[in-house]
Structure 1
Amino acid sequence: MSSSRPHITRRPPSMVMRLERLGSLHQCRLSFMRILMRRMAEEHWHFSRPVFDIDDTGVGCAVYTAKGPNRSYSLVAFAHDLPAELRSDRVIAEAWDATFTMFDGVPTAGDIARLKQNVPLQEAGRVSESELSLSRANRSVRLWEHVVSALAAGKQPDTHTIEQVGYLMRTTAVYGSGKFGAADRDTLSNRAELHPPFQLEMLSVYLTRTFVRDLIEHAAEAKGGTKAAKLDKSLARGLGIGNSTGLGMAPFVVNHPVLFNNWIMAREEAICRARSVISASDEAVQIFSDRLKRSALSVSKWTSEHPIQIQKIDALRDDLRRLYKHIEQIDFANAYPWNQLMIWAEANLSSEGQELLASLILEPYPELVDGLADCMADDGAGVSSIDGAMPIGDVKNLLETCFGWAAELDWQDPKTCARAWYVSEEKLEPRLGERFEEPIADYEQPLAPARDASLAISDLQGWAPTDTVSDFLFRHPEHRHTVRRAQLSRIAPYGEIRDNTISHDVLPIDMLRAKLSFFGATHFDPRSDRWVRICMFAGAPYPEELSTQNADDWVYPAMAP
């Protein structure tokens, strides 16, 4: 057996880090929502609602506390009576249907009074190190009114109407990591429950979902009195929290190469471990088959109006038909069945199908996969400092490994550098403009690492391999950020996108999809090539239902009995 054992390694960055593939990633066991839910269930977190002071007009405050083994976190929620003309999902909006903060511990009446003066103002307010995040949300007006009216009349809302929208409220921002005076990430990262990325933000959204359910039942009771019904548990479970994500998120994967590397590398290591399993047990095959069937059900309900996404969904459905047919011919008792399946997929399925399969083969192996969650944060303080003593020959090798392909592009071709990233003065968020049609070149942000690397490679010609980086940067300080990125690639091989981020045909939604897949989002619905709509925690158990039996596979819809 040892002589025929395949040499299974992680897939190379040159394959994984292409935008088309990053834009085809799916949630998996290492998605941040699932990491959080597993932890809360395994550690038997306790949930309570110490405050629910909402009047009959739907205005007031509520507090939801999650108590873990070592400390508590409380979502402080403020519900508002928002006039229709003020409702906007734009970042520059100044009023919302609901506003939130995550409080470190359990707030006192004094804390709540202070937060009431500031949290509804969001950016215009002030929060302290006792607050860990700041967020806001707006109603899906059509679905909200339908559900309130139905429950007030003692009826359940229409299932099809609920499935069409999927959420009663959508967040327009969830801010953490020190924004607006809130506690900085560095002060919290030593807490085990917050060490994996975005756990605080996921907890905020999870508790927000509970608040929204309670709020709409309260609104129905205020309208219908004693005849009002509670929302059916299965219908409530199908509702998530919506989110519309735009260009503001896209540069994240460029600006955080080590962190993004850690996400991708953890997933690739998990895939490698599954592919290295010598033989699949009957239980493993059963788990895989169950998740595959439920994924197919999920894909059958995945709709989009965006032409590119429509094509990808159609291709994925065709992939699933091919996969089902192929699996009928597989003997999972043969050596390395998951590796053989992945090899077949690379030759026969689209990137969507390959990446869905890559996620699914992880499902039977929590003992191989789940511990990698602790490797996904960026704990490398100081790793971004430049090593000035590095020989020029070494930095050239690093640049050519990551960006050798970029040096072959014609950067004088207007199509190659057609776009430019800049920060909008109005929204104070990244935007992508047409370089040769708008006066934005002077405001360009350093979000074109491939072009910059190509320029650095060109300027390095003529330097002796033994010359030092410090000498080179003394002459060419404009290349400091490129040299820093090259040196980071020694510890972050998956940190660089292997595509041109300013090309005329770049699709920023690929960057959005990559990040959101790690959040755990499903049913991506691009509204253009620059923003996408998602739903979070749809299907998840509510706090009073959470157990080790339902904490993890809720992301796959249940099959009809």
Structure 2
Amino acid sequence: MTTPAAIQAALRGRNALPLRPPHQVMNLERLGAMHQSRLSFMRILVRRIMRERWRIEVVKLELDDQGYGTVIYEINAPHGVFSFVLFSNYLAPNDRNDRVIATQWDLTMALVAGPVDRTYLEQLRQNVPKQEAGRVDSRVFVLSRANRSARNFDYVVKQLAAGLQPDVEKIADVGYLYRTTAVYGSGKLGMADWEKVKQRWPDFARPFSAEMFMCFMLRNFSLFQAEHIAKHQSANTFLPMQPDIKRYFGIGNSTGLGMAPYLINHPLLINQWVAMRELGLARIRVLGNIDQRVQQHFQELLMRCQQHTQETQTEDEWQKNNNTRVIQDLLSMQEQTAQGVVSWEVLLTWTESHCSLQGQELLVSVLLELYPELVDDLEDYYCEEEFLDLDPLMPVKQLQQVIEQRYAWALSIDFSEPGTKETFWYRSEDKMEPRLGNAQTEPGKEKQMALGVGYAVRKCYDQLSVYANDHPHHTTARFMVAQPKLRGIVRRIQSMNRCVYGDIQANLLERDVLPMHLLRAKLAFFGVSKFDPRSKLWVRNTMFQGAPLLEDIGRTFNDDWFMPLAPR
């Protein structure tokens, strides 16, 4: 979707709003400190579902007493009819594995265009449970699988069957009944690609909206299935779950390195996502009125964020320290604004000197929450064509200046220093999943993925400088003839120079690179919460916790599930 002229003017030109500078915003550690916000994809999706009153109903329910079988939900959205098809099969506890090498799961699912008849259902039944080993057609545009939470699922069923409610404190430890280990879209395994989805199905024509909807439906089924099993275990004593406890359940997610390269390989799209978030913040800095209502809401949100962070469980010491520091930051903000906020600009500047990066970015999310009237329209401009265009007429001297101005961060790295090129990224042959290798001790560097943008810029600049010195009046086209292997990075440099923010400013070949920052940045755009790193390479988190339920569609909705708290 093309960004309209009014927003372009707000980003650049005479009427430009005061945006935070690229060297600050695109710093990898800061991106890895982001939190969910009302501009996250889950929040955007739920607003649409509730605002447009999507009709979602079960049209096929074939579950036995143990919750195994087939379920089809039919979704009537404003621009089309879709089907969510789910297969529930028995899985022995010893076979339950969240790793990508798994071949069996408790649930497998597909989101499909149009109604599903008996013949097509059988076709799906033969392939969807196989996941990567199966093949589907272009009517399918999302495929996923999920496993039960060993700590929660059976416990919740037992409680409901006995006429009791689940202990909220126990839910706070693991806030979901199922966790998904993969959500596939964008043309994989024979599915419809993104271009087809965007053009033919407007209801899902925003980045990752179909994938987020898959997880939203999985979360609702997990609650339905737990009640279904409990009712069949003891119909006389069964009680359904209380709605506020139901809403506190999310869906679990395990995310590894597979997500990291996306942010590097889609620079124009990531720039757009960041630009919309920063534009929302800039509008608030200039136009955000601070009256008594806003003051009160701000203090309430700070306290909510503090309690939410305290309720977040993790065994990872690094994340524990981050959470502790965030709580300290929130207390400091409350103390600093106890007598009222005079200016958001002043408060933002103060946090840059007194708070951690995660505390600073949490304040940004809180400010976005305060002003839906200044922020929500930006949700329509998250799409961007990922087309890197070469400007052959650009003089080589100008290209040299572009690199010096936009890629000063890359030129500041001394790549001759030990460790600066020690890591290489590659795809495993068995699962085609990204992996990290050590260039000093492991073979395969010749098959590395092109994620070292900083190093590529440095090499390009060095060769360009020699060429520009010898041929100062030549164009980029002439330089490309002399150095054809540099076409890709030159195209990227020129294209990103037309963006407000451009590339992520990090050396991903560094010995101590922390992929967790990439994972968290993308997950924050998705809208997840409660990060629980299991290593520097993968993280567990929770999706849709606090979100409305299917039965809430059509009822009063105030979009207030930011940083959800355990029900009292």
Instruction: Work out whether the TM-score is over 0.5.
Output: yes
Structure 2 residue 147 is the aligned partner of structure 1 residue 141: no
Is 2:426 the partner of 1:405? no
Q: Find the counterpart in structure 1 of residue 390 from structure 2.
A: 386
The corresponding residue for 1:227 is 237
Q: Does 1:542 align with 2:526?
A: no
Q: For residue 157 of structure 1, report the CA deviation from its aligned partner.
A: 2.5
- Specify the code of the residue in structure 2 equivalent to 1:346: E
Query: How far is 1:169 from its partner?
Result: 0.6
Q: Please tell me whether residue 179 in structure 1 is matched to residue 188 in structure 2.
A: yes
Provide the secondary structure at the position in 2 that maps to 1:63: strand
Aligned residue in 2 for 1:99: 108
Match of 1:110 in 2: 119
Please tell me whether residue 446 in structure 1 is matched to residue 450 in structure 2.
yes
SS of 2:198's partner is coil
Partner residue in 1 for 2:92: 83
Q: Does 1:522 align with 2:529?
A: yes
- 1:415 is aligned, of 413, 419, 425, to 419
Q: Is the 8 A contact 1:195 1:374 kept in 2?
A: no
In the alignment, structure 1 residue 369 sits paired with structure 2 residue 375: yes
Matched, 1:473 2:483: no
Distance 2:83 2:558 in 1: 20
Q: Aligned partners of 2:409 and 2:385: how far apart in 1? A: 30
Does residue 301 (structure 1) correspond to residue 311 (structure 2)? The answer is yes
In structure 2, relative to structure 1, the CA distance for the partners of 1:265 and 1:278 (3 Å cut) is closer
For 1:35-434, what aligned pairs fall within 5 Å after superposition?
35-190=44-199, 191-277=201-287, 279-332=289-342, 337-379=343-385, 383-434=387-438
Confirm or deny: 8 A CA contact 1:537 1:555 kept in the other structure: no
Structure 2 gaps of 5+ residues are 1-14
Please tell me whether the aligned partners of residues 288 and 371 of structure 2 are also in contact (alpha carbons under 8 angstroms): no
**d(CA) in 1 for partners of 2:236 and 2:567?**
33
Instruction: State whether residues 172 and 312 of structure 2, in contact with CA within 8 Å, keep that contact through their aligned partners in structure 1.
Output: no
Distance in 2 between the 1:30 and 1:14 partners?
Answer: 22
> Which region of structure 1 is more displaced relative to structure 2, 217-226 or 310-319?
217-226
* Higher mean C-alpha deviation, range 67-76 or range 204-213: 67-76
| Shift in Å, 1:7 | 8.9
CA contact (8 A) 2:269 2:382 kept: yes
For 1:509, the equivalent position in structure 2 comes to 516
Q: What letter matches 1:538 in structure 2?
A: Q
Query: Is the 8 Å Cα contact of residues 297 and 557 (structure 1) preserved in structure 2?
Result: no
Using the TM superposition, give the Cα deviation of residue 401 of structure 1 relative to its aligned residue in structure 2, in angstroms: 2.6
Q: Alignment length, in residue pairs?
A: 550
Q: Is the 8 A contact 1:47 1:544 kept in 2?
A: no
Q: How big is the shift at 1:461?
A: 1.3
**Letter aligned with residue 132 of structure 2:** E
Q: Which runs of 4+ in 1 moved over 3 A?
A: 329-332, 546-551, 558-561
CA distance in 1, matches of 2:91, 2:473: 65
Question: Residue by residue, what CA displacement relative to the aligned partner does 1:11-30 show, whole Å, maximum 9, x if unpaired?
Answer: 11100111110110011111
Q: Per-residue displacement from partner, 1:77-118 (whole Å, max 9, x unpaired)?
A: 110111223221111211110000001122222222221111
The answer to whether the 8 A contact 1:37-1:551 is kept is no
Deviates more, 1:96-105 or 1:395-404: 395-404
2:389–2:492 Cα contact (<8 Å) kept: no
547 and 490 in structure 1: CA distance in 2 versus 1, 3 angstrom threshold: farther
Say if 1:379 and 1:97 are closer, same or farther in 2 by CA, change over 3 A: same
Letter in 2 for 1:359: S
Pick which of 481-490 and 512-521 moved more: 481-490
> Is the CA contact (8 Å cut-off) linking 1:61 and 1:76 kept in structure 2?
yes
Letter in 1 for 2:439: R
TM-fit CA distance, 1:278: 5.9
Q: Secondary structure at the match of 2:319?
A: helix
Local SS of the residue matching 1:101: strand
Kindly provide the CA deviation profile for residues 459-501 of structure 1, in whole angstroms up to 9, marking residues without a partner as x: 1112234322232223323322211210121333323111211
Aligned pair partner of 2:24 in 3, 15, 28: 15
Q: Tell me the amino acid that sits aligned with residue 278 of structure 2.
A: E
How far has the Cα of 1:557 moved from its partner? 2.5
Residue 489 of structure 1: aligned partner: 496
The one-letter code matched in structure 2 to 1:184 is: D
CA distance in 2, matches of 1:242, 1:459: 48
Q: Give the 3 Å change call, closer, same or farther, for CA 548–385 of structure 1 in structure 2.
A: farther
Give CA-to-partner distance per residue, 1:401-457, whole Å, 9 cap, x none: 332232232212221112111111232111112111111211211011001111111
Deviates more, 1:141-150 or 1:520-529: 141-150
Distance 1:285 1:170 in 2: 38
Q: Is the 8 A contact 2:252 2:542 kept in 1?
A: yes
> Secondary structure at the residue paired with 2:84?
strand
Tell me the CA shift for residue 307 of structure 1.
2.3
In structure 1, the residue corresponding to 2:368 is in which secondary structure? coil
Deviations 1:304-344 (A, max 9, x none): 22222122111111101110001113354xxxx22222122
What is the match of residue 532 of structure 1? 539
Cα separation, 2, equivalents of 1:138 and 1:491: 44
Q: CA deviation at 1:555?
A: 2.7
Alignment check: 8 A CA contact 2:172 2:566 kept: no
User: How much does 1:389 deviate?
Assistant: 2.8
Paired with 1:14 and 1:215, the residues of 2 have a C-alpha distance of 48
Residue identity matched to 2:193: D
Percent identity between matched residues is 40
C-alpha separation in 2, matches of 1:301 and 1:219: 29
Distance 1:282 1:479, change over 3 A: same
Q: 2: distance between equivalents of 1:547 and 1:439?
A: 58
Q: Structure 1 residues 549 and 297 mapped into 2: Cα distance closer, same or farther (>3 Å)?
A: farther
Per the alignment, residue 462 of structure 2 pairs with: 458
- Structure 2: distance between partners of 1:551 and 1:183: 34
Corresponding residue SS for 2:370: coil
Aligned-CA RMSD value: 1.9
- The alpha carbon displacement at 1:549 in A equals 4.3
- How far is the alpha carbon of 1:210 from its aligned partner? 1.0
- Contact 1:96/1:137 (8 A) holds in 2: yes
Could you tell me whether the CA contact under 8 Å between 2:173 and 2:313 is conserved in 1?
A: no
Moved more, 516-525 or 145-154: 145-154
Structure 1 counterpart of 2:559, one-letter code? D
State how far apart, in whole Å, the 2-side matches of 1:54 and 1:122 are.
21
